[in-house]
């Protein structure tokens, strides 16, 4: 702690600021975790309910999966923080290339 450089003259202010930011981030993670559990329960309910056809259930589950991946990236993998712009660019460009590759092969096979 003695080697740590403080941003302000008063170390108590830095401690209070970090404590407040950590509490806020923990609150966001707990809310996101609860939301992801809720989305998982919705997906299980959609599969278990016999009233939905597979034409509705499969795209619905895929939509919920995309939403959960976005939440995991932004909150659990801290992609919303400063300094993670370049990994995000690489990751999104990889997702785009993978999507275009799958779309290309599906198009070639079906037409």
User: How confident is the model over 16-29, as a mean pLDDT?
Assistant: 86
Please say if the pLDDT value at position 77 is more than 80. Answer: no
Looking at residue 106, what is its pLDDT? 92
Q: For residues 27 and 2, which has the higher predicted lDDT (pLDDT)?
A: 27
83, containing H or E segment: none
pLDDT digits (tens, 9 = 90+) for 26-40: 898 889 889 999 999
CB 40 within 8 A of CB 67: no
Q: Which pLDDT score, from 0 to 100, does residue 65 have? A: 92
Cα radius of gyration (the chain): 21
**Tokens found for residue 110:** 């079906």
- The 8 Å CB, 24+ separation contacts for 20-29 are 28/75, 29/75, 29/76
């Amino acid at each position: 702690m003695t080697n740590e450089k403080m941003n302000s003259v008063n170390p108590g202010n830095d401690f209070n600021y970090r404590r407040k930011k950590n509490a806020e981030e923990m609150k966001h993670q707990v809310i996101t975790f609860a939301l992801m559990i809720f989305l998982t329960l919705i997906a299980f309910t959609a599969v278990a309910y016999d009233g939905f056809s597979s034409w509705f259930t499969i795209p619905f589950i895929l939509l919920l999966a995309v939403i959960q991946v976005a939440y995991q990236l932004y909150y659990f993998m801290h992609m919303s923080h400063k300094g993670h712009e370049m990994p995000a660019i690489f990751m999104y460009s990889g997702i785009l290339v993978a999507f275009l590759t799958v779309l290309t092969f599906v198009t070639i096979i079906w037409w």
